Structure 1
């Protein structure tokens, strides 16, 4: 088995230089770095990560805790985090909180025991004592997608307010006046923000939103189907239903299909969170697209800045409206004055 001094001899550099390359020290020139990597490849050298971490107090690992691994948004987010971290020489350990505070805390403890260099957390609704403690500690911590009230931590998230306003304007232009919104939990920052943006946009367009038209789901398909059923059973059902995430939109689609209703003829559908399959069903689903991959990449860069003692600022990226056919085409729905 090749040793670090064998790599140094092969590359024609000192052992200290090889060590600096392994630890991504910026003082090493690109030409020297390439020679060392070529020598490592030629000798099939594999650095001992455990031994290095004991010497440097760094494991070159990051912990990522996501809300729900079955949600396509979080799957794409995790992939982007992993890709960006790998390019920087870090490995990512992923934990699925399943939207449960106790499960989240389990992974926080486990990852801290594994001595990860930093934590990226998509926080659940509750501010747990453990997360508060970590936020006050020395371990770098970044919130991703969501924030927690009263916890001062750098964050990376998307702002969908402008895109939601554009969606409401689009629906209004198509003649839809009775518009319902199925939000995520109000205990989550994303649930609150999307609800507030929808109600604000509706008011700006002179649309009255009855209390029964604003429902709270849990960002999962079951709640989307159940609430869509309740909305369609109202004495005056909505002409359009805006779902607060892609899984609830899937549940709404199931309910509409089971009833044999036409989209958008009988009811229009739109979703927050665009996913690839929205573009491959009929009709294609109008959706608000978050810059998911960029959120993941920026989160990794932010936590690496923390790790290297550089100044950090929270990042907010805009979401965008993607108009397709599920809400209708201009001029197809007549005003009914309701």
Structure 2
């Protein structure tokens, strides 16, 4: 396949001159331009997407930087972004920041060098100078799922307070009073928002939150397990462990199982962020479901508005409580007392789902 230097040699010009022709640079004479085009035709040379973008100022590509590709939330989010972008005629290039600011900045630089038309970023906790620079420059940029203080760019995120309030009301109605929370990191907007919503909901329902009932996690499995272990070792352990995301739920579940405890008879479990396998756990896990696919689709619509020069306003999509059986519910009604009379594997602890 012919390369740009082959075209330059065939036309008897420099590579820089060929590049100027591809850029429609007015400094190139008509005679030279014709020679370059003739060489391109003779060699069947086709400019790559980056070269074409230098003329059209568009690559029909979007960059997406996610927090952790191993987290099912981000996997589903990326799929939705890809699907929506493809419908609009765009290709998505994905980078996994692994929750590290240096990795995030590496992908930002790489994607800008590839001349993506817009950037969708699930930002890490740190406000880096590069992100500030990109935002100040007015490049098409949208924050997805998370926000950064002091950075004024459009964002699409999930509003979690109402669903968390609904969960706490549901747990109180079942008779639970000692409810602990394993949060995400306070350095992330989602970690702060969920912790604040939990505290507010507990206060609204007249329930105390002892300091030892708040564990700080990092949205990964290991911190969920470690947080659950500390809570279960308390002199008065909680009746319910509420975890701030699906991976920490997995860790907490592992710790509960390792101790031989039964859910919900010995301790109830609830999760922020629903995943498909929660319905296959016995008992099925009560969770707050995020509108992940719509989050991704809305983000693509927002970034395309920016790319095409239209206004783009931030949006918050509501989460929804999905009631299952891990907090003491049974298909036959009754509160924790009824549920605690039946083991996790007993008949009647199936996969019945309801919305509350």
Name the TM-score, length of structure 2 as normaliser. 0.80
Alignment deviations for residues 84-131 of structure 1 (CA, whole Å, 9 cap, x no partner): 011111110000000011111111111111111110000000101100
Q: Given that residues 50 and 115 in structure 2 are in contact (C-alpha distance below 8 angstroms), is that contact kept between their aligned partners in structure 1?
A: no
Q: Which residue of 2 aligns with 1:94?
A: 94
Q: Which residue of 1 aligns with 2:118?
A: 118
Q: Please tell me whether Structure 1 or Structure 2 has the larger radius of gyration of its CA atoms.
A: 2
Q: Which residue of 1 aligns with 2:334?
A: 331
Provide the rounded CA distance (Å) in 1 between the counterparts of 2:67 and 2:303.
19
Alignment deviations for residues 249-300 of structure 1 (CA, whole Å, 9 cap, x no partner): 0000000110110000000000000000001111100000000000000000
1:287 aligns with 2:287: yes
C-alpha deviation, 1:331, in angstroms = 3.0
Provide the rounded CA distance (Å) in 2 between the counterparts of 1:94 and 1:163.
30
Q: How does 1:227-266 map to 2 (within 5 A)?
A: 227-266=227-266
Residues matched between the structures, number: 291
Q: Which residue of 2 aligns with 1:304?
A: 304
Which sections of structure 2, spanning at least 5 residues, go unmatched? 2-45, 339-356
1:221 aligns with 2:221: yes
C-alpha deviation, 1:50, in angstroms = 3.8
Q: Secondary structure at the match of 1:120?
A: strand
Q: Which residue of 2 aligns with 1:24?
A: none
Alignment deviations for residues 165-192 of structure 1 (CA, whole Å, 9 cap, x no partner): 0000011011110000000000100000
Q: Which residue of 1 aligns with 2:191?
A: 191
Q: Which residue of 2 aligns with 1:77?
A: 77
Q: Secondary structure at the match of 1:62?
A: strand
Q: Secondary structure at the match of 1:169?
A: helix
Name the TM-score, length of structure 1 as normaliser. 0.84
Provide the rounded CA distance (Å) in 2 between the counterparts of 1:137 and 1:48.
26
Q: Which residue of 2 aligns with 1:208?
A: 208
Which sections of structure 1, spanning at least 5 residues, go unmatched? 2-45
C-alpha deviation, 1:306, in angstroms = 0.5
Provide the rounded CA distance (Å) in 2 between the counterparts of 1:175 and 1:138.
52
Q: Secondary structure at the match of 2:207?
A: coil
Q: Which residue of 2 aligns with 1:20?
A: none
Q: Given that residues 50 and 114 in structure 2 are in contact (C-alpha distance below 8 angstroms), is that contact kept between their aligned partners in structure 1?
A: no
**In angstroms, what is the RMSD of aligned CA positions?**
1.5
Alignment deviations for residues 114-162 of structure 1 (CA, whole Å, 9 cap, x no partner): 1111100000001011001001113200000000011101000000100
Q: Given that residues 175 and 331 in structure 1 are in contact (C-alpha distance below 8 angstroms), is that contact kept between their aligned partners in structure 2?
A: no
Q: Given that residues 141 and 303 in structure 1 are in contact (C-alpha distance below 8 angstroms), is that contact kept between their aligned partners in structure 2?
A: yes
Q: Which residue of 2 aligns with 1:316?
A: 316
Provide the rounded CA distance (Å) in 2 between the counterparts of 1:312 and 1:118.
13
Provide the rounded CA distance (Å) in 1 between the counterparts of 2:67 and 2:266.
34
Q: Which residue of 1 aligns with 2:107?
A: 107
Q: Given that residues 291 and 318 in structure 1 are in contact (C-alpha distance below 8 angstroms), is that contact kept between their aligned partners in structure 2?
A: yes
